[in-house]
């Protein structure tokens, strides 16, 4: 058994892996990885090659990827290639697409690379992803980049906890607001009616994230003080990956505009913004052009403003930039509950139903399209990216109209901390069946007060955001509270595919389904 302690040298190796732009040689697509037990400080970790995060894998579009993964743990493990279009048996979900990797065994993943862009890999066994089993993937396009750049950095955002993730889930089951230290006080604002409404729903407008900075610290490339270099006037590509288990980040660089050029690995028409909300498991590529020889702060604060991580982009190491103040702590609104302001709630069936045994504690009575809205009010003058801004650079490959709709409600019971689709946990739900070659519209309605970044394995999700033939292709789609959102799916690869919320405790508590294409 290999048992490794993560030293400062390992941290530096992980950080340095993405500093300078490097391009893989043609055909360089073979890797051998070991999944080992380790420690981050005093805390048990599951690491790839002893690193946090694991090594960045660099491939080239058109090559055949071959990755031999050896399990040095005392339990089963797996790696899922998030967003990579693989055959079903190479997708890496134990019990669904393959048997998993037993202790001491080596499993070799092989699949053609039919795409390019920024992706990532992570464990799909128990809580191993939360305790370190993750790394970045960069696939170079065979025809070069539409947007030139001189340097790049991979910025992998993550959350780290010294608590046992199983204990975190147990705490949430015992008390769903266990980690919510930002509750409103008796006289902390809001009208009497509003407070009564929230009380009737047995919910709180301060429930933004299930697990706050009380349990987490936040990292860039495995570090709390990551630094990267640039030269004044360079176009620098930043590959942003949200590899957190539970957290959604708002990312900005004070003093620099972010030109978004790719979403979930797919090129989009460039759009200039000041801030990006990066939901769990999403990736965005941005280009920045620092024009001054000074340090810039890379600032990512979590959605509930209970913590942040700050890195540095500078012309030389040793320089630093002070992080800006965090934005005000947000509050949920009636719109987040799928209701209009002033709407009476006395006759909501879900609210009047007996609580015992009920796995749905709210129904969005008026869900609405919210793609043009930023998730929370940003300070005046700060432009925040929305899904409505995303436009593919070329028409999609399948322009057929969908033959049918699959309508799913994202549901939960916060008091019991149970999550699911249509009020059912994975253990109680049947697979969603798609015919091979079928074109389907998925309609998701979020009946909960939490955001849900939904990931469909193996197939692209084309968001219907008003861009018609230029709909953006994504592998993870974030559904806001009270939102109704649709995306198109071409069922072009057979197999059993996972479909789940990528917030780990939501998935582990039931928000998981199988999509079976045959």
Q: pLDDT tens across 185-230, in order?
A: 444 455 555 544 545 555 566 778 899 898 999 999 999 999 999 9
What pLDDT, on a 0 to 100 scale, did the predictor assign at position 23?
A: 47
Domain 145-330: which topology? Immunoglobulin-like (2.60.40)
Q: Indicate the average pLDDT of the chain.
A: 87
Q: What is the DSSP letter of 359?
A: S
The burial of 199, by beta-carbon neighbours within 10 Å (0-12 exposed, 13-18 middle, 19 or more buried), is given as: exposed
Residue 177 pLDDT exceeds 50: yes
The average pLDDT across 472-491 equals 97
Supply the Cα-derived Rg of the chain in whole angstroms: 22
CA 371 – CA 454 distance, rounded (Å) = 15
Find out whether the peptide bond into 94 is cis, omega within 30 degrees of 0: no
Q: CB neighbours of 145 closer than 8 A, spacing ≥ 6? A: none
Number of C-beta neighbours around residue 430 at 10 A: 9
What pLDDT, on a 0 to 100 scale, did the predictor assign at position 182?
A: 57
Q: Where in the chain is the domain with CATH 2.60.40.420?
A: 3-143, 145-330, 387-517
Homologous superfamily assigned to 387-517: Cupredoxins -  blue copper proteins (2.60.40.420)
444's tokens: 């998701």
User: How confident is the model over 105-126, as pLDDT tens digits?
Assistant: 999 999 999 999 999 999 999 9
Report the range of poorest mean pLDDT among 176-185, 214-223, 335-344. 335-344
Binning pLDDT at 50, 70 and 90, where does residue 373 land?
confident
What pLDDT, on a 0 to 100 scale, did the predictor assign at position 273?
A: 98
Q: What is the DSSP letter of 15?
A: H
Percent of the chain with pLDDT over 90: 74
What pLDDT, on a 0 to 100 scale, did the predictor assign at position 199?
A: 52
CA proximity to 169, closest of 215, 135, 123, 217: 215
Interstrand relation of 54-60 and 134-140 (parallel, antiparallel or unpaired): parallel
User: How confident is the model over 138-167, as pLDDT tens digits?
Assistant: 999 999 999 999 999 999 999 999 999 999
CA 276 – CA 486 distance, rounded (Å) = 21
Percent of the chain with pLDDT over 70: 84
CA 40 – CA 47 distance, rounded (Å) = 10
The average pLDDT across 498-506 equals 97
243's tokens: 């590899």
User: How confident is the model over 398-457, as pLDDT tens digits?
Assistant: 999 999 999 999 999 988 899 999 999 898 999 999 999 999 999 999 999 899 999 999
**Bigger pLDDT: 262 vs 367:** 262
What pLDDT, on a 0 to 100 scale, did the predictor assign at position 490?
A: 98
Interstrand relation of 117-122 and 54-60 (parallel, antiparallel or unpaired): unpaired
Q: What are phi and psi of 350, to 5 degrees?
A: -65, -35
What pLDDT, on a 0 to 100 scale, did the predictor assign at position 333?
A: 67
Phi-psi region of 482 (alpha: psi -120 to 50; beta: other; left: phi over 0): left
CA 313 – CA 270 distance, rounded (Å) = 22
For domain 3-143, the CATH class is mainly beta
Residue 492 pLDDT exceeds 50: yes
The average pLDDT across 499-516 equals 97
Binning pLDDT at 50, 70 and 90, where does residue 341 land?
very low
User: How confident is the model over 212-224, as pLDDT tens digits?
Assistant: 898 999 999 999 9
User: How confident is the model over 256-290, as pLDDT tens digits?
Assistant: 999 999 999 999 999 999 999 999 999 999 999 99
Number of C-beta neighbours around residue 496 at 10 A: 19
The average pLDDT across 5-30 equals 46
CA 198 – CA 335 distance, rounded (Å) = 13
């Amino acid at each position: 058994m290999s048992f490794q302690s993560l030293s400062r040298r390992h941290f530096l190796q992980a950080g340095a892996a993405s500093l300078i732009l490097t391009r893989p040689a043609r055909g360089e697509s073979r890797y051998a990885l070991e999944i080992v037990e380790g420690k981050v400080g005093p805390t048990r970790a599951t690491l790839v090659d002893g690193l946090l995060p694991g090594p960045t894998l660099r491939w080239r579009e058109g090559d055949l990827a071959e990755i031999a993964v050896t399990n040095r743990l005392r339990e089963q493990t797996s790696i899922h290639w998030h967003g990579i279009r693989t055959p079903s048996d190479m997708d890496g979900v134990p019990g669904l697409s393959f048997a998993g990797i037993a202790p001491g065994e080596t499993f070799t993943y092989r699949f053609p690379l039919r795409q390019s862009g920024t992706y990532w890999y992570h464990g799909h066994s128990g809580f191993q992803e939360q305790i370190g089993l993750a790394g970045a993937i960069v696939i170079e396009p065979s025809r070069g980049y539409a947007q030139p750049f001189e340097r790049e950095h991979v910025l992998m955002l993550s959350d780290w906890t010294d608590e046992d993730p199983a204990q975190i889930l147990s705490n949430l089951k015992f008390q769903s607001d266990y980690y919510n230290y930002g509750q409103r006080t008796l006289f902390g604002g809001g009208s009497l009616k509003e407070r009564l409404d929230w009380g009737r729903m047995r919910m709180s407008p301060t429930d933004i994230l299930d697990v706050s900075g009380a349990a987490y610290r936040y990292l860039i490339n495995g570090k709390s003080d990551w630094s990267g270099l640039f030269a004044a006037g360079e176009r620098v590509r930043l590959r942003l990956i949200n590899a957190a288990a539970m957290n959604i980040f708002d990312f900005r660089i004070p003093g620099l505009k972010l030109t978004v050029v790719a979403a979930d690995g797919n090129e989009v028409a460039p759009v200039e913004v000041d801030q990006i909300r990066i939901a769990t498991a999403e990736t965005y590529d941005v280009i920045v052009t620092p024009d001054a020889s000074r340090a810039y702060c890379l600032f990512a604060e979590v959605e509930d403003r209970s913590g942040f991580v700050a890195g540095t982009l500078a012309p030389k190491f040793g320089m630093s930039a002070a992080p800006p103040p965090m934005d005000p702590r947000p509050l949920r609104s009636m719109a987040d509950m799928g209701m209009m302001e002033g709407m009476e709630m006395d006759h909501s069936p879900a609210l009047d139903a007996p609580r015992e045994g009920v796995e749905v504690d709210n129904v969005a009575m008026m869900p609405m399209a919210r793609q043009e809205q930023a998730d929370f009010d940003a300070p005046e003058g700060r432009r925040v990216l929305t899904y409505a801004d995303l436009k593919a650079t070329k028409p999609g490959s399948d322009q057929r109209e969908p033959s049918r709709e699959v309508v799913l409600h994202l549901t939960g019971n916060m008091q019991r901390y149970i999550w699911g689709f249509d009020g059912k946990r994975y253990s109680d739900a049947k697979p969603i069946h798609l015919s091979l070659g079928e074109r389907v519209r998925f309609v998701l309605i979020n009946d909960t007060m939490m955001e849900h970044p939904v990931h469909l394995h193996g197939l692209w999700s084309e968001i219907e955001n008003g861009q018609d033939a230029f709909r953006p292709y994504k592998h993870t789609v974030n559904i806001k509270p009270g939102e109704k959102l649709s995306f198109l799916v071409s069922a072009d690869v057979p197999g059993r595919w996972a479909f789940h919320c990528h917030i780990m405790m939501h998935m582990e508590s039931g928000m998981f389904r199988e999509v079976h294409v045959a």
